[in-house]
Amino acid sequence: MMYIFMVFSLFALRNSLAQTSSSHQIDEFIHSLENEWNLLNILLNREHEEWKNQNSRILKNSVNQQNQITEEDMKRINLWNLLANTRSNGDVSSESIENNWV
């Protein structure tokens, strides 16, 4: 969620720059935003892999404990899957997350 806030903050900053800066400065800023966006995607991909690994460990541990998955484990698995699916669909709005969290 922190990443989403960061992206929206950068776009708000870009809009304020557009009112006071030259076209060249705006183009440079857009280029820096694209770089930040690419870095953000790399970080999100890494986190997604960590989530998948964590889910796998939880499930393996649960199988080893005679298939007893706790309610907390299920909530964690559902949240990771929801975030991963929402991100892969490209829709990171709070409305989308609320609609999928049923």
Answer yes or no: is 97 within a domain.
yes
- Residue 101 falls in which region: left (phi positive, over 0), alpha (psi -120 to 50) or beta: beta
Domain span at 64: 32-102
Q: Look up residue 38 and give its amino acid.
A: N
Q: What long-range pairs does 29-37 form, CB within 8 A, spacing at least 24?
A: 36/6, 36/7, 36/10, 37/7
Residue 16 domain flag: no
Residue 25 lies in a domain: no
pLDDT of residue 3: 62
Mean pLDDT, consecutive 10-residue segments, the chain of 102 residues? 66 68 75 84 86 82 64 79 69 56 48
Query: Is residue 52 situated within a structural domain?
Result: yes
Count up the domains in the chain and report the number: 1
| 7 inside domain | no
pTM over 0.75: no
* DSSP type of residue 52: H
Residue 93 domain-assigned (yes or no): yes
Q: What local confidence, expressed as pLDDT, does residue 102 receive?
A: 45
